């Protein structure tokens, strides 16, 4: 799943695309070629597989540098403004995904 992200507080910050590795109601792990810093605030626009669209803000709280895959890095993002509706939609998506993959049910 791909998401559109924009860094907040940066002059002429243009949206860029990230690959969503995983998501929960508290945050997400995304992969991108952009260089972000811990503490960067971002605005994310995404569409879940059930066509639920949402926009939320988050803060980069973790960075995993990757020197293997074309310098793409992983960023852990903590949501800071998730609406109750978006939270429910994410929890429903995660619940369906977990039900389809029994090995993850114990997590």
CB of 53 within 8 A of CB of 47? yes
What's the mean per-residue pLDDT of the chain? 84
Whether the predicted pLDDT of 12 surpasses 70: no
Give the whole-angstrom CA distance, residue 57 versus residue 45: 9
DSSP 8-state symbol, 34: S
Q: Which of 77, 80, 78 is nearest to 64 (CA)?
A: 77
* pLDDT digit string, tens, across residues 86-104: 999 999 988 876 665 555 4
Mean pLDDT, range 48-52, rounded to an integer: 84
Contact assessment for residue 20 and residue 6, using Cβ atoms and an 8 Å cutoff:
no
Class of domain 2-104: mainly beta
Tell me what pLDDT residue 98 has: 64
| pLDDT score of 106 | 43
pTM (two decimals): 0.81
């Amino acid at each position: 799943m791909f998401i559109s992200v924009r860094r907040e507080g940066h002059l002429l910050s243009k949206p860029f695309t990230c690959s969503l590795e995983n998501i929960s109601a508290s945050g997400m792990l995304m992969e991108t070629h952009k260089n972000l810093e811990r503490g960067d605030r971002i605005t994310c626009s995404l569409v879940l597989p059930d066509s639920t669209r949402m926009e939320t803000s988050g803060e980069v709280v973790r960075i995993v540098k990757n020197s293997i895959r074309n310098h793409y890095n992983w960023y852990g993002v903590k949501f800071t403004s998730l609406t109750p509706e978006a939270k429910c939609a994410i929890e429903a998506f995660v619940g369906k995904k977990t039900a389809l993959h029994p090995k993850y049910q114990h997590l």
